[in-house]
Homo-oligomer: A and B are copies of this chain.
């Protein structure tokens, strides 16, 4: 089977690609196990060389429908649509956010529709679709009220995925991801960048500035569990998704203060001493609007899993990315 990953050069895209190549198969549109014969990665910048003949790397703008028509045809069985402009950037550059987070999603769905073969489309959404006055634990029945352009664009794309699925244009699955922590690499323009930075930088011996209060509650998922959830979300039988294509993934609910305590529990007191707290109102305004937890009963019933604790997330980061512990 042929699989496409948009945002394939990104952090999650690369990790998903490695996992799919190692796994070698997915459930096809016919509900049969199918070997992955081609894995296409499209992104603005070239994905790295995987040294695997199944991989095809394409560089291009996914907001150009012509580009999408080149990489999606009737043989494309499954699409993991991960490409996005992150929250802080979408707030700073409204037009860019609309173009990538909304228009590209719609173009992708329209190209699938034109092919007429109902491919699986796995779309990643976000905590940022929620906002305003929220219950302590958000429910599937809780209204979306995004307080950022990023959240608005994700919420609109969720609606499209659901309607295109209802009409039989695609077999869509919207996975709402908790904030991913700990991301390796450099800080990015996501408002939630600190949720990785306050762990990653101190473990690398660098100072970290936390722009939010220690009392802020976050809903987190490790990169490893996120990739597992993307694949598990792909594997769910369409018949199990009646009513809604949108699934709130399991997460770990912790305050920033508890994150720092977990860091200390796993790595000793030295890293936490490198964290300073300097409030950033622009970041706080966005991040404070996100839920600190949501109910994931439906996700769990569908076989999706999160992490055990934030300590286990920190430990996994140290093992996988730093090669220690």
Contacts and interface: CB of A to CB of B under 8 A. Distances in A.
A160 interface: yes
B94 A145 contact: no
This protein's copies in its complex = 2
A132 B167 contact: no
A7 interface: no
Contact of A144 (B133, B135, B143): B143
A162 B289 CA distance: 15
Main secondary structure of the interface of A (DSSP, over half): loop
A258 interface: no
Contacts of A318: none
A159 B144 CA distance: 9
Interface in A170-216: none
Nearest to A166: B147
A141 interface: yes
A62 interface: no
A143 B142 CA distance: 5
B159 A146 contact: yes
Contact of A149 (B141, B155, B167, B244): B167
Contact of A244 (B132, B159, B163): B132
Nearest to A134: B141
A149 B133 contact: no
Contacts of A94: 167
Interface in A300-314: none
5 contacts: A140-B143, A143-B144, A146-B159, A149-B167, A152-B159
